[in-house]
Structure 1
Amino acid sequence: MSNKESHPASKSANELDLTSAVEHFIQQGGVIHVVPAGESGELVNEAPTSRPDTELEDERLKKLEQFKSLVAKGAGVSALQYSLRMNKRDLRRMAGENGLKISYSRPIRRSRNEKARTTETVDDELAGHAMHYSSLGFSALEIAQKLNLSVRQVWEIGRDYRVEFKHAGEQHEFDTPTEE
């Protein structure tokens, strides 16, 4: 069984509210533009929210000043993108137009390879002392402490001069005490 309404169809309350709202709008001086059939409302509605050119120019000048100050402080592309809310292409264009150079990636500390290349060379006299201590049975750690070197430098001496150093916990057969 289907439900049927007992009273005839009438205009809904929403339609009446809309009609009265439109009449009230027109009475107060409002204008309603009717879109001709076959056209879209986008063509009739011109962009009334567009800002004047002076506001756009002021905003651009503020961004340019902020851009110059950030570049002077050494800000990178990511920081500039975040602060100015611009993409990389626009940032590069703005830098090119104003003759500014953006610092891209600058390492905070030296890389591991640079440290390895700049290790100080150990002179032959120090290497001789290290080999002498090694022949007396000192470990690489003990040699480093005696000669004020790092353990890495002692191992590099061993590599360069083809000498094997003993590890700290390692014992050779002549180091063990004999029981009689």
Structure 2
Amino acid sequence: MNKKTDPSGVSAEHLKIANAVEHYVSHGGVINVVPEGTTGESAHPTGPASGADCELEMDTKLELLKGLVAKGAGVSALQYSLRMNRKDIKRLASENGLKIRYSRPVRRTRSTRSRETTTVDDVVAGHAMHYSTLGYTVPEIAQLLGLGVRDVWDIGQAYRFEFNKNREHGDMAQAAPEDKADRD
């Protein structure tokens, strides 16, 4: 509960820090003093050391650019990774003989089968409606008839028939087609 204080006013931690600083400086280390009123982040060293850092940073960015371009990254992805603007990225790429292509899509495009409309005859449509009245859902009907789910929904739209969305176990409610008399 009671704190013991050092009567000399200098704690052991302060002495350890002072010894470490003296050791660092004696071995060639340089400590930059930050002027009062500014922060350490705004006080950047200037001179030959910063030029070497800039060159090293550009070499690192160039290697990263080469790797990303080889993977097919686009300009927007490069901007994010390199933290550079478009103009600087394109300049760096052209200076080093790199060609930036547009980014490749991550997912495959949809298959052509899903885009083409299939013509379904009345027999298949009749089977689909019959399975629906028996209580089958659209994915089950599609599997039984060898169709896609979208094709089954298109049948329902073409024949003005509402398919069951949820499996109804108890009462097997039937969906009555509208205008059935008009089709017969």
Q: TM-score normalised by the shorter chain: which range applies?
A: 0.3 to 0.5
Rg larger in structure: 1
TM-score (norm 1): 0.46
TM-score (norm 2): 0.46
